[in-house]
Amino acid sequence: MTRFNWFNATTLTLGFAFLYLPIILLMIYSFNESRLVTVWAGFSTKWYQSVFSNESFMNAAWVTLRVGFISASLATVLGTMAALVLNRAGSFKGKTLFTGMIYATMVMPEVITGLSLLLLFVSLDFTRGFWTVTLAHITFSMCYATVVISARLVTFERSMEEAALDLGCTRFSAFMQITLPIIFPAILAAWLLAFTLSLDDLVIASFASGPGATTLPMKIYSQVRIGVSPEINALSSILIAVVAFGVVTASLITKQAHAKRMKEEQQAHSST
Amino acid sequence: MALADITTPSQETEQASVQGSGWRRSLLIAVPYIWLLVFFLAPFVIVLKISLSDVVLARPPYFPTFDISEGWQGFVAMFQAFDLENYVWLTEDTLYLKSYLSSLKIAFISTMIALVLGYPIAYALAKAPKEWRSTLLMLVILPFWTSFLIRVYAWIGILKKEGVLNYVLLWSGIIDEPLTILNTDAAIYIGIVYSYLPFMILPLYAVLEKLDYSLLEAATDLGCSPFKAFWVITLPLSVSGIWAGCFLVFIPAVGEFVIPDILGGSSTIMIGKTLWVEFFSNRDWPVASAVAILLLIMLIMPIILFQKQQEKQAEASQ
């Protein structure tokens, strides 16, 4: 099975066409001169200019980036802790509840998560806005971060940590010197995932936000309800390009780190 | 798949010796635990409480509110004011029952379509040359990283009356008159299948990739036709992947809001949309909470089944 057979090749071509054509069409039409989205009237970058000169888009983008940065960073810290709890802390009272909450957060319909968080903020008398959206995003993205980091913790050999402890390392320094470097690519991937999730979220942000903190998806949504516009096409294309670039770079970094580690491990084995 | 990994039961005693005990361990457990209790579990208790309250024109727009300064008396008074009025209301107005049923129907049909489309793609991925696989797999995952909202929005330009699809179909002479697809149920199916297809493909791929293909060769050697071999061997061995994929598509599809709102018409009601309207347009927070609680009850069974199935898979892979 080293070659594609025609059936599998056709299936994959059709499958990927289905997955990618809508996005590609959207990007093509973002360069359309005409405001009528389906009539091609020549190449133009004017919609990109109008996106960058639109102050409300830029404000929303700035809010979104700040929410994404803060929530992804805190979610990664909490997710790393939670992953260690699941894989390294042994058993304790209420572990089932803990695992259950992590799973449930991920599969919960967004409308329910959004509604419940909003009602919490109202009960606590929090002013809704930037920080409530950030808190909401930390909560759901930390669970995805936990799963990503956990997957890495499960597969790596604990013998190295044990060796460090045997050689007199404290637990904390064993974690800093052995565990952390090994799981670092997973932590990076978790941060990126958390950041993208925050960047994408419409439903939870709509519930958790208040006046003055409109995120980019909320802004896009209010425009989309009116109909298709070339500005939204241009804005979407920018977002897609940024995310695609980030993801591809991250996966290349991870691949390189993996190859380097394999090489080092091999060297370590051969020198003994 | 990654979801299966975190339930992997491991050697607890050995772990305890690695991590030891002490305040650092307690702190490690306490911080994420308390976070989830406060921002995940507590909100549900509040939703439950408000679903039993009455709507009032005030801030916040529900009654009773719990006043901590009244102590136990206030607590008792709050409980006495609770009633199931909102739930009774949900059964009286057929809108809600219709919303639930139509959500289940749409989610089910979309899941089936996603399975039929996703299976051959996952199969082709699993059989692709090894050096191609990781790239192809990344191509499946990549759309998942781009904004959900944008991917749904992209379909408006394709499906609307003067959109790309009608243009191509008219131009090629397949149809004489433009089809109305946008703002119908068909558009919702397309939207859900498109958005969640990677969730179907990935668990199927995970199972199909590990499949022992020598079994298939043995079957063909013994005179089995390729079709029958698939039916008797491949399909039964990939059942766990089918279940995982179906749950991953079905559960979020039931509560979906963005797709029916953007692609669906006003005649299609789904429960996520009903909840949204109840909350944002009608500003009836207690009824919205009751809708949420019932949606949750509806989804608890599939969620538990999914978790059980993941645990079984994790055990099997050890």
Per residue in A210-224, pLDDT tens? 887 899 999 999 988
- Shortest distance between the Cα of B153 and any Cα of chain A, in A, equals 7
Determine whether the interchain pair A243/B128 forms a contact, defined as Cβ–Cβ distance below 8 Å: no
- Shortest distance between the Cα of A218 and any Cα of chain B, in A, equals 10
Q: Is residue B50 part of a domain?
A: no
Q: Tell me whether B12 touches chain A (CB under 8 Å).
A: yes
Q: Residue-wise over B64-92: b if at least 16 C-beta within 10 A, else e? A: bbeeeeeeeeeeeebeeeeeebbbeebee
Average pLDDT of the residues in B124-140: 87
User: What was the pLDDT predicted at A69?
Assistant: 96
Q: Is residue B57 part of a domain?
A: no
Per residue in A181-201, pLDDT tens? 888 888 988 998 899 889 889
Residue ranges covered by each domain of chain A: 56-271
Most confident of A114-128, A160-174, A238-252: A114-128
Domain boundaries A56-271, corresponding CATH code: 1.10.3720.10
Residue from B15, B23, B24, B29 whose CB has the most chain A CBs within 10 Å, to mutate: B29
Q: Is residue B17 part of a domain?
A: no
Average pLDDT of the residues in A243-255: 78
Average pLDDT of the residues in A2-10: 79
Per CB-CB distance under 8 Å, the chain A contacts of B124 are 7-9, 11-12, 15
Q: Is the pLDDT of residue B134 over 90?
A: no
Widest Cα–Cα separation across chain A: 72
A204/A137 Cα distance (integer angstroms): 8
Q: Tell me whether B36 touches chain A (CB under 8 Å).
A: yes
Which helix (H) or strand (E) is A99 found in, with range? helix A95-107
Per CB-CB distance under 8 Å, the chain B contacts of A22 are 151, 154-155, 158, 194
Residue from B40, B59, B200, B248 whose CB has the most chain A CBs within 10 Å, to mutate: B40
> Quick one: which of A53, A52, A28 has its CA closest to A38?
A28
Q: What single-letter DSSP state applies at residue A176?
A: I
Domain count for chain B: 1
Q: Is the pLDDT of residue B153 over 50?
A: yes
Determine whether the interchain pair A243/B147 forms a contact, defined as Cβ–Cβ distance below 8 Å: yes
User: How many contacts (CB atoms, under 8 Å) link A and B?
Assistant: 265
Q: Tell me whether B58 touches chain A (CB under 8 Å).
A: no
Average pLDDT of the residues in B129-139: 86
Q: Is the pLDDT of residue A33 over 90?
A: no
User: What was the pLDDT predicted at A130?
Assistant: 93
Average pLDDT of the residues in A84-88: 88
Which helix (H) or strand (E) is A218 found in, with range? helix A216-224
Q: Is the pLDDT of residue A131 over 90?
A: yes
User: What was the pLDDT predicted at B40?
Assistant: 93
Confidence band (pLDDT; 50, 70, 90) for B70?
low
Per residue in B74-125, pLDDT tens? 667 677 677 788 888 888 888 888 899 999 999 999 999 999 999 999 999 9
Whole-number mean pLDDT of chain A? 86
Most confident of A25-34, B39-48, B66-75, B167-176: B39-48
User: What was the pLDDT predicted at B317?
Assistant: 62
Q: Is residue B275 part of a domain?
A: yes
Per CB-CB distance under 8 Å, the chain B contacts of A207 are 279
Q: Helix (H, G, I), strand (E, B), or coil: what is residue A140?
A: helix
B143/A243 Cα distance (integer angstroms): 10
Q: Is residue B184 part of a domain?
A: yes
B63/B290 Cα distance (integer angstroms): 14
- pLDDT-wise least confident of A248-257, B179-188, B213-222: A248-257
User: What was the pLDDT predicted at B13?
Assistant: 39
User: What was the pLDDT predicted at A1?
Assistant: 46
Range of the domain at B102: 85-316
Neighbouring CB atoms inside 10 A of A174's CB total 21
Determine whether the interchain pair A4/B129 forms a contact, defined as Cβ–Cβ distance below 8 Å: yes
- pLDDT-wise least confident of A48-57, B34-43, B161-170, B243-252: B161-170
Q: Tell me whether B258 touches chain A (CB under 8 Å).
A: yes
Contacts of A143 (CB under 8 A, 6+ apart): A79, A82, A102, A103, A105, A106
User: What was the pLDDT predicted at A121?
Assistant: 93
Determine whether the interchain pair A120/B276 forms a contact, defined as Cβ–Cβ distance below 8 Å: no
Widest Cα–Cα separation across chain B: 81
- Shortest distance between the Cα of B288 and any Cα of chain A, in A, equals 8
Determine whether the interchain pair A115/B47 forms a contact, defined as Cβ–Cβ distance below 8 Å: yes
Determine whether the interchain pair B36/A165 forms a contact, defined as Cβ–Cβ distance below 8 Å: no
B16/B4 Cα distance (integer angstroms): 22
Q: What does the block give as tokens for A2? A: 């080293």
Per CB-CB distance under 8 Å, the chain B contacts of A18 are 117, 194, 197
User: What was the pLDDT predicted at A154?
Assistant: 81
Q: What does the block give as tokens for A57? A: 């888009």
Confidence band (pLDDT; 50, 70, 90) for B12?
very low
Per CB-CB distance under 8 Å, the chain B contacts of A170 are none
Q: Is residue B214 part of a domain?
A: yes
For chain B, the DSSP string reads -HHHHTT----HHHHHHHH--SHHHHHHHHHHHHHHIIIIIHHHHHHHHHHTSEE-SSSSSEEPPP-GGGHHHHHHHHHHH--SHHHHHHHHSHHHHHHHHHHHHHHHHHHHHHHHHHHHHHHHHHHS-HHHHHHHHHHHHHHHHS-HHHHHHHHHHHHSTTSHHHHHHHHTTS-SS----TTSHHHHHHHHHHHHHHHHHHHHHHHHHHS-THHHHHHHHTT--HHHHIIIIIHHHTHHHHHHHHHHHHHHHHT--HHHHHTS-TT---HHHHHHIIIIIS--HHHHHHHHHHHHHHHHHHHHHHHHHHHHHHHHT-
Tell me the ipTM for this assembly: 0.86
Per residue in B170-193, pLDDT tens? 888 888 888 888 888 999 999 999
User: What was the pLDDT predicted at A37?
Assistant: 60
Q: Residue-wise over B196-222: b if at least 16 C-beta within 10 A, else e? A: bbbbbbbbbbbbbbebeeeebeebeee
CATH number at B102 reads 1.10.3720.10
Q: Helix (H, G, I), strand (E, B), or coil: what is residue A32?
A: strand
Confidence band (pLDDT; 50, 70, 90) for B10?
very low
